[in-house]
Amino acid sequence: MFDYTAIDFETANSNRGSPCAVGLVRVRGRRPVDERSWLIRPPETVDHFSAFNTALHGITAEMVENEPRWKDILPTILDFVGEDVLVAHNAGFDIGVLRHACKIDNIEWPTIRFLCTMVLARRSLPLPSYRLPYVVEALGGPAVNHHDALADARGVVDIVRGLAGLTDCHNLEDLASSVGVTIGRMAAGKMAGGVVRRTSAQTVLNRLDPNGDADPDGYLYGRVVVFTGTLMSMTRQVAWDECARIGATAEKSTTKRTNVLVVGDINSASLRPGSEITGKARKAFDLQESGQHIEVMTEIDFLRCLGGTPLEQPESLLTEVRLDAPLQPTTTSAHRSLPLERRRPPPQPPGPPALLKPPRPLRRAAVPTDQICANEHCSDPAAFKTRSKPTWCERHIIEQQHTGGLEPLESFTHPDDWQLTECLHCTIRAHYRFAYTLDKNTYDEPTCRACYWRGWAASTRVHEDVGARSTPISIANAQALCHQHGYEHLGLLTAPSLPHDPHHVRCRKCQRVSAQRLSDIASGCSSCKP
């Protein structure tokens, strides 16, 4: 029988351990029989509301000031769940909220079994997007009031019902196994002195040979991958099988062969400076042995690689900005562990200097097309041509940009062109690609990097030694660093501007305006790179 509890959390800020609302729906035999929702005061050390999160779900600090704290509401939530499997859309986030909130309050997290409908949908349906409202609609369910915790939990029920109807399964275990997934389990644990104590059964992992027919242009093809921490969306064996499917090799421990580390659940206390991280990772730690660089990615990034979505160039996470420090070499995503016959010849000594080519223009002329907007209820002509992906008319393109928190200030030309926009939340103007906004919308993340990096920096300082990193960055030093690396400094985006905070800059070559941390500016402008 389909007996389970659907769950969805909303958070007050970018810290995963800041729950401010939860929605629960109890299901018996495919039918909802009870539901609950509560507003929550986040744990005290992360009890602040960001403007972006409030804009998403509408919950403010005033609305929760008389509500129970996380540690007080948790027993009530667990009483409602009982022995049920928890089902969530993007379980890596929702189960992570539960776990991180318990870590912050230094209380034992419960033993939980869980299943992720995003993973089930990815393996069952060929969709351009796997956001909860899109999957619900694709399966014939009603429209979802997204980011209302109870409405999203109801949407999870609709997804399970729809997928069960497609597969003719009779319980959650059958539904999971029909797409090669098993129900996950988070064992009870407790934070004590920064060390996680938990119980887990030792399992024997079977390694398959990498798929010889996999796409050689895939991001993880030919790479050696190691997993650490608890994966929320799949078991470790399924993750190993997925690596083999896309041509990668999974191994148990870090060796000199390792060049990718997938972190299932990140503890901010583990972070150290000097790490290389993917563009989607908020936190990472440095793991270098024998001088080689290991790219650290989150579980969400790993899922994107499995789905064929390219990642951005790695970034450098620095403890502080040093204007007089020499530039350290970095490893880009092109440095993969490929078989020898597939590797490029070693670089030759530099020859005579070549004439510098001008950067590619930020925008090109729009190309007319006879395709129709992919929106189900729209018959307007599409704004761009595509062979296999959705395309939209200008009106629905603007709707997608509004979803990502942007107001376009220029006409649309192409998904990969840079378009000047204004953030609906902080009003900062910057250039973004429409393809980038679509990708961020998939993960309910704001496109605006000014909003993102401000929230990330504030959250990071909560868990770091703030006193060691609270010296403001002077505008003169910021201007000097920008000038050194080909940027014009347009202004500070925080007052005072502390290390990790973003700055408003413009590339002197291509004129692209962006919001970036000073630690990223040394990497150069991505739109000017070859």
Q: What digits encode the pLDDT tens for the residues 400-453?
A: 999 999 999 999 999 989 999 999 998 999 999 998 999 888 878 889 999 988
Distance of CA 49 to the CA centre of its chain: 20
Structure confidence at residue 57 (pLDDT): 92
Between CA 385 and CA 413 the distance in angstroms is 11
On whether the CB atoms of residues 382 and 373 are closer than 8 A, the answer is yes
SS (H, E, C) 381-408: ECCCCCCCCCCCCHHHHHHHHHHCCEEE
Q: Is the predicted pLDDT of residue 339 greater than 90, yes or no?
A: no
CB 106 within 8 A of CB 191: yes
Residue type, 297: M
Phi, psi of 87 (to 5 degrees): -115, 130
3-state secondary structure at position 190: strand
What b/e sequence results for 269-294 when a residue is b if at least 16 CB atoms lie within 10 Å of its CB, and e otherwise? eebeeebbbbbbbbbbbbbeeeeebb
Lowest average pLDDT, out of 311-320, 435-444, 468-477, goes to 311-320
- Backbone dihedral angles phi then psi of residue 452, each to the nearest 5 degrees: -65, -50
Tell me what the pLDDT averaged over the chain comes to.
Answer: 79
Q: At residue 331, does pLDDT exceed 80?
A: no
| Bigger pLDDT: 331 vs 68 | 68
pLDDT tens digits along 220-246: 888 889 888 777 667 788 888 888 888
Residues 240 and 45: their CA atoms lie apart, in Å, by 37
Q: What is the pLDDT of residues 351-392, one digit of tens each?
A: 666 555 677 788 888 888 888 998 888 989 999 988 777 899
Domain 224-342 class in CATH: alpha beta
Q: What pLDDT shows up at residue 279?
A: 36
Which stretches within 168-314 are classed as H helix? 172-177, 236-245, 299-306
Q: Is 51 helix (H, G, I), strand (E, B) or coil?
A: helix
% of the chain with per-residue pLDDT over 70: 80
Q: Which among 91-100, 223-232, 262-271 has the top mean pLDDT? A: 91-100
Tokens of 152: 């999203």
pTM: 0.46
Helix/strand/coil for 40: coil
pLDDT of residue 310: 56
Pick 80 or 463 by higher pLDDT.
80
What confidence score (pLDDT) does residue 353 get?
Answer: 61
Does 266 score more than 80 pLDDT? no
Confidence label for 183 from pLDDT (cuts 50, 70 and 90) = confident
More confidently predicted of 400 and 335: 400
Mean per-residue pLDDT, 98-112: 89
User: What pLDDT sits at residue 6?
Assistant: 97
What are the residue boundaries of the structural domains of the chain, listed by start? 4-196, 224-342, 449-464+471-521
Residue 314 to residue 275: CA distance in whole angstroms: 10
430: alpha, beta or left? (left if phi > 0; alpha if psi -120 to 50): beta
Position 185 scores a pLDDT of 82
pLDDT (0 to 100) of residue 3: 93
Residue-wise pLDDT tens digits, 439-460 = 888 878 889 999 988 888 887 7
**Matching CATH number, 4-196, of 3.40.50.2300, 3.30.420.10, 3.30.300.20, 1.10.357.10:** 3.30.420.10
- Burial bucket for residue 337 (CB in 10 Å: 0-12, 13-18, 19+): middle
Reply yes or no on whether the pLDDT at 278 is more than 50: no
Q: Does a cis peptide bond (omega within 30 degrees of 0) precede residue 314?
A: no
β-sheet bridge partners, residue 517? 502
Grade residue 189 by pLDDT with cuts at 50, 70 and 90: low
pLDDT at res. 469: 52
pLDDT level of residue 340 (50, 70, 90 thresholds)? very low
Tokens (6 digits) for 377: 């209820």
| pLDDT for the residue numbered 333 | 37
Least confident of 66-70, 88-92, 283-287, 484-488: 283-287
